[in-house]
């Protein structure tokens, strides 16, 4: 764990890569892990290297808790490696989505489903105490709903751990309030997913949804391919479908939107699940249909007039560009296709905006393949680039 008193921080994995996240905050008498994720790769057959953290994945030490920022696989994919006696924590909506995803995608993995069922939940702003470490989850905006930043307080120091976030999502007002009300921050540990990309702002989620009625005027059938667990986007697109048009998904996607609507106390959007019984009505009236790139949806798309169809690709470009991808073939099933997407991560300018507002003594980049580029955005010299397993004293 390293020598010295006070609050210490370590990135076990993710200091120089996007995904595969695991980090730690510790003092002499408390220890908290944040995220246990799988590494990302576009290579077929890739298997993430297993995380090995003493006292977390083995019996050589103790750990008070493992907290998850959100439910994406590069943050939760290795939660099964956490020792069974160590409690796991996440948001209530995130827990439900993780349980539903495991039931849908890994029904035979009873051990995983049992572990997920036992996850403890927290609420936005609720203080969690682990020894002398106080962790406050702060709801953030990301392409996974119910995502959180964590305010870590110990030994008189305050560290904000951002997890994955952005300022152009549908919950951007939450982010602005969070930044305005965060108070004094000594250390900012921030994601830097996009800092190696071209500088510029991103299209907002609201702007994407505002384009849906226009597509439905120009095309009778609008197919949308997006991540199934990007529930906020599915909800926003569904709410943008005008009266008199169908909005259809599969049963699993509909169930995810329903559980989020229930948790948030919102009205469920007009979202039906696909069945051959409603096919004639959809063909007659037209509408928006959420699809997934598999043989079942290939058959469904082929039932509609190609000359009056468009497929909107609402995911990361890398899935199309990877060698051997069948996505271009799938996208060509409609008469035409276009990209309608925005990043789930903060732009470089937004990261700078957050840092300038919070004015921390030290900025530590993570979840990035170009951490040294962060120094170009903050030339004052207060960026500390860590290596995996390198300890940093927050004092």
The pLDDT of residue 44 = 79
pLDDT average per 10 residues of sequence, the chain (395 residues):
73 97 97 97 88 97 98 98 98 97 95 96 97 97 96 97 96 91 96 84 94 98 96 95 94 94 90 90 95 94 96 93 88 95 94 93 96 85 94 94
Listed residue (89, 88, 82, 15) closest to 51, CA to CA: 82
The pLDDT of residue 395 = 85
Other Cβ atoms closer than 10 A to 63:
22
How are strands ordered across the β-sheet holding 8-13? 120-122, 88-91, 65-67, 31-34, 22-26, 8-13, 391-393
Residue 369 near residue 196, CB atoms below 8 Å: yes
The pLDDT of residue 376 = 86
What tokens appear for 335 in the block?
Answer: 């008469």
The pLDDT of residue 3 = 41
Model-level pTM?
Answer: 0.95
């Amino acid at each position: 764990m390293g020598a010295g008193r006070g609050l210490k921080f370590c990135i076990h994995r993710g200091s120089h890569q996007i995904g595969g996240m695991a980090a730690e905050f510790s003092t002499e008498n408390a220890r908290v892990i944040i995220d246990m994720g799988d590494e990302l790769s576009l290579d077929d057959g890739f298997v993430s290297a297993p995380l090995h953290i003493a006292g977390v994945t083995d019996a050589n030490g103790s750990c008070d808790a493992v907290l998850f920022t959100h439910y994406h696989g590069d943050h939760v994919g290795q939660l099964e490696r956490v020792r069974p006696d160590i409690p796991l924590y996440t948001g209530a909506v995130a827990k439900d989505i993780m349980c539903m995803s495991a039931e849908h995608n890994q029904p035979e993995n009873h051990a995983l489903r049992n572990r997920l069922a036992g996850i403890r939940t927290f609420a936005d702003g609720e203080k969690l105490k682990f020894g002398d470490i106080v962790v406050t989850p702060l709801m953030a905006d990301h392409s996974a709903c119910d995502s959180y930043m964590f305010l870590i307080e110990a030994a008189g120091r305050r560290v904000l751990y951002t997890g994955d976030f952005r300022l152009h999502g549908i919950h951007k007002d939450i982010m602005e309030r969070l930044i305005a009300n965060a108070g004094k921050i000594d250390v900012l540990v921030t994601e830097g997913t996009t800092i190696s990309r071209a500088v510029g702002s991103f299209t907002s989620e609201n702007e994407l949804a505002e384009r849906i009625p226009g597509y439905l005027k120009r095309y009778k059938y609008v197919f949308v391919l997006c991540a199934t667990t990007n529930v906020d986007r599915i909800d926003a697109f569904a709410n943008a479908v005008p009266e008199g048009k169908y909005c259809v998904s599969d049963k699993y996607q509909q169930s995810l939107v329903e559980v989020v609507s229930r948790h948030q106390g919102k009205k469920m959007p007009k979202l039906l699940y696909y069945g051959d019984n409603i096919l004639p009505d959809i063909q007659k009236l037209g509408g928006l249909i959420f699809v997934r790139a598999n043989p079942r949806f290939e058959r469904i798309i082929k039932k509609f007039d190609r000359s009056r169809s468009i497929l909107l690709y609402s995911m990361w470009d890398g899935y199309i560009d990877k060698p051997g991808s069948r996505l271009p073939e799938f996208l060509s099933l409609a008469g035409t296709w276009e990209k309608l997407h925005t990043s789930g991560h903060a732009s470089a300018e937004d990261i700078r905006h957050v840092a300038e507002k919070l004015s921390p003594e030290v900025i530590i980049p993570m979840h990035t393949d170009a951490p040294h580029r962060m120094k170009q955005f903050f030339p004052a010299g207060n960026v500390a680039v860590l290596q995996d397993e390198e300890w940093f004293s927050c004092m």
